[in-house]
């Protein structure tokens, strides 16, 4: 028996052995609304900045799937390029820590607008891949609909802010969280010596440039080993986790996330005495065969790393010159392909089914994406399957 879409009326006919026939009309009252987030700023104040918070209230209707919530908050814009689009992403800072959608209690939450992703799915698929690889601190994605000051804004994703904390990136009070990003707009930042990488210090919270110097020296020690002529025979893996390199590469290769080349939104963290670990993974707008014309799925058969290389390309691609990394990558990719890829494709079906109604409402608001959502789902799955075949050849040839 083939699958039936019970969101639409279905007619069944029952025929007895004596030829009597009876018609049954089946219609399920399907509530396709996602959890609703309603934010009201004090006095209806507009949110015009990625720096200045506006106070207000937030109410969440979990649609009987998640718990409801109501409280006071501050809200501001977020993002760099994404903030320039008509549909804006936001950052929530609750006045009191709270567990939203069953996630660990925190103050800081992000609302992703997905303006470049008309499917409202691509970041969720990447995070699912990270979870299937057991990558630490991979974000949870909760599909929601947002109303701001009584104006419906469409489909969003609620997720955790990438930050240090016992329930976020848990590197301890003396650990480090860095972000490599060519926007280079944080207060405490440095250009690395060997590859001129734009390194921003997200944690610890610094108060002067002198406090940054040991953090810079520590990162540049790793970078010097990677850039050295003695690489990979210089014990550089005493400073960075080989498992994290391989898992990070699998997610970024599978999704073709080109941000690693700039680099942008590329995080790396460590505890005080531990090795560097790549991640958490973040920002998959410029991925999945993305072209600058804001079209995805354009090409599935191009390598992750650019030629000619950019700053991030030169640093990260160097790891593929290590036979140990190549061997581990081949092993881990083979395991993922055999044991996890079908689960990822099933997730695409499940996630796109759940958000279909919200996606249609978002289209009516912003006219982004295609009107045939089912075709989009097929296109994404086809692209992932083709990408899998391409990576079989590419990784196998390393």
Dist CA 321 CA 312 (whole Å): 15
Q: How far apart are CA 26 and CA 65, in angstroms?
A: 24
Q: Is 341 exposed, middle or buried (0-12, 13-18, 19+ CB in 10 A)?
A: middle
> pLDDT tens digits for 286-307?
999 998 777 899 899 999 999 9
For the stretch 143-188, pLDDT in tens is 999 999 999 999 999 999 999 999 999 999 999 999 999 999 999 9
Q: Among residues 360, 345, 280, which one has the least CA distance to residue 110?
A: 280
Q: In this structure, what token pair is assigned to residue 201?
A: 């210090």
Judge whether 120 and 143 are in contact, CB under 8 Å.
Answer: yes
pLDDT at site 31: 66
pLDDT score for 292 = 72
Taking only the tens of pLDDT, the chain with its 398 residues reads 456 665 567 777 777 676 777 776 665 555 688 999 999 999 999 999 999 999 999 999 999 999 999 999 999 999 989 999 999 999 999 999 999 999 999 999 999 999 999 999 999 999 999 999 999 999 999 999 999 999 999 999 999 999 999 999 999 999 999 999 999 999 999 999 999 999 999 999 999 999 999 999 999 999 999 999 999 999 999 999 999 999 999 999 999 999 999 999 999 999 999 999 999 999 998 999 998 777 899 899 999 999 989 999 999 999 999 999 999 999 999 999 999 999 999 999 999 999 999 999 999 999 998 888 899 999 999 999 999 999 999 999 99
pLDDT of residue 8: 62
For 149, the 3-state DSSP assignment is: coil
Q: How far apart are CA 382 and CA 88, in angstroms?
A: 30
User: What does the alpha-carbon distance between residue 237 and residue 7 come to, in Å, rounded to a whole number?
Assistant: 53
Say how far residue 260 (Cα) sits from the centre of its chain: 13
Cα 42 to its chain centre, rounded Å, is 31
Number of neighbouring beta carbons within 10 Å of residue 320: 16
CB 287 within 8 A of CB 126: yes
Closest by Cα among 323, 327, 298, 310 to 396: 327
Structure tokens at 15: 């025929």
Contact indicator for 236, 222 with CB cutoff of 8 Å: yes
In sequence order, which residues have a C-beta less than 8 Å from that of residue 126 and are 6 or more positions away?
Answer: 251, 255, 257, 281, 284, 287
DSSP string, 273-333: SS-BEE------SS-SS-BTTTB-SS-SSS-SS-SS--HHHHHHGGGGG-HHHHHHHHHHH
Beta bridge partners of 154: 146
């Amino acid at each position: 028996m083939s699958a039936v879409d019970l969101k639409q009326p279905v007619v069944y006919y029952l025929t007895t052995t004596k030829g009597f026939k009876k018609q049954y009309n089946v219609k399920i009252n399907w509530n396709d609304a996602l959890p609703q987030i309603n934010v009201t700023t004090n006095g209806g104040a507009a949110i015009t900045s990625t720096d200045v918070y506006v106070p207000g209230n937030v109410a969440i209707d979990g649609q009987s799937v998640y718990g409801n919530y109501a409280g006071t908050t501050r809200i501001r814009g977020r993002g760099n390029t994404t903030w320039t689009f008509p549909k804006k992403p936001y950052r929530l800072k609750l006045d009191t820590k709270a567990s939203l959608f069953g996630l660990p209690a925190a103050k800081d939450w992000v609302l992703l607008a997905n303006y470049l992703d008309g499917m409202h799915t691509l970041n969720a698929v990447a995070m699912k891949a990270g979870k299937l690889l057991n990558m630490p601190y991979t974000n949870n994605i909760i599909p929601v609909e947002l109303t701001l000051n009584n104006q419906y804004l469409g489909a969003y994703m609620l997720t955790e802010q990438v930050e240090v904390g016992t329930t976020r990136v848990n590197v301890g009070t003396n650990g480090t969280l860095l972000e490599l990003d060519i926007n280079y707009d944080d207060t405490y930042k440095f250009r690395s010596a060997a590859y001129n990488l734009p390194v921003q210090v997200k944690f610890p919270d610094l108060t002067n440039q002198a406090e940054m110097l040991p953090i810079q020296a520590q990162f540049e020690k790793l970078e010097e080993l990677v850039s050295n002529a003695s690489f990979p025979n210089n014990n550089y893996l005493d400073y960075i986790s080989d498992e994290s390199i391989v898992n990070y590469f699998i997610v970024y290769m599978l999704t073709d996330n080109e941000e690693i080349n700039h680099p942008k939104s590329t995080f790396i963290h460590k505890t005080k005495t531990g090795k560097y670990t790549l991640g958490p993974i973040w920002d998959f707008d410029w991925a999945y065969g993305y072209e600058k014309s804001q079209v995805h799925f354009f090409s599935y058969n191009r390598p992750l790393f650019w030629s000619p290389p950019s700053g991030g390309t030169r640093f990260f691609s160097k790891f593929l010159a290590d036979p140990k990394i190549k061997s581990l990558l081949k092993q881990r990719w083979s395991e993922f392909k055999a044991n996890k890829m079908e689960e990822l494709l099933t997730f695409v079906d499940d996630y796109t089914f759940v958000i279909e109604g919200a996606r249609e409402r978002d289209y009516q608001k912003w006219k982004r994406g295609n009107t045939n959502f089912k075709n989009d789902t097929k296109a994404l799955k086809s692209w992932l399957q083709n990408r899998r075949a391409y990576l079989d050849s590419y990784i196998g040839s390393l």
